[in-house]
Amino acid sequence: MNSMASFHIKIEPTGIYKATFHDCNNSIRLWGDLSKKEGIEEAKEKMKALRKAIEDFENHIRINY
């Protein structure tokens, strides 16, 4: 199997973050600003949604394959 998954998360001193998730062919990037309470809450919601999507996909594979 020649497959990979990786991620890179960078948080600048200003509070700006970039979280990039890769597989062999594609990537997604989440961006935000942790210098304000609103940005922190938004980042938490993004991570929560991403975790749920990954868990749902994993469960789908487990049940159907």
Provide the domain limits for residue 59: 5-64
Residue 3: pLDDT band with limits 50, 70, 90: confident
Give the chain's domain count.
1
**Cα 25 to Cα 2, 5, 44, 52, 62, distances in angstroms:** 12, 10, 27, 22, 23
- Residue 31 forms beta bridges with which residues? 18
Query: Do strands 27-33 and 5-11 pair parallel, antiparallel, or not at all (unpaired)?
Result: unpaired
Instruction: Give residue-wise pLDDT tens across range 8-59.
Output: 999 999 999 999 999 989 999 999 999 999 999 999 999 999 999 999 999 9
- Backbone φ and ψ for 20, nearest 5 degrees, come out as -120, 130
For the chain, the distance separating the N- and C-terminal CA atoms, rounded to the nearest angstrom, is 17
Residue 1 has pLDDT above 80, yes or no: no
**Cα 42 to Cα 33, 50, 54, distances in angstroms:** 9, 12, 18
Please tell me the pTM assigned to this model. 0.81
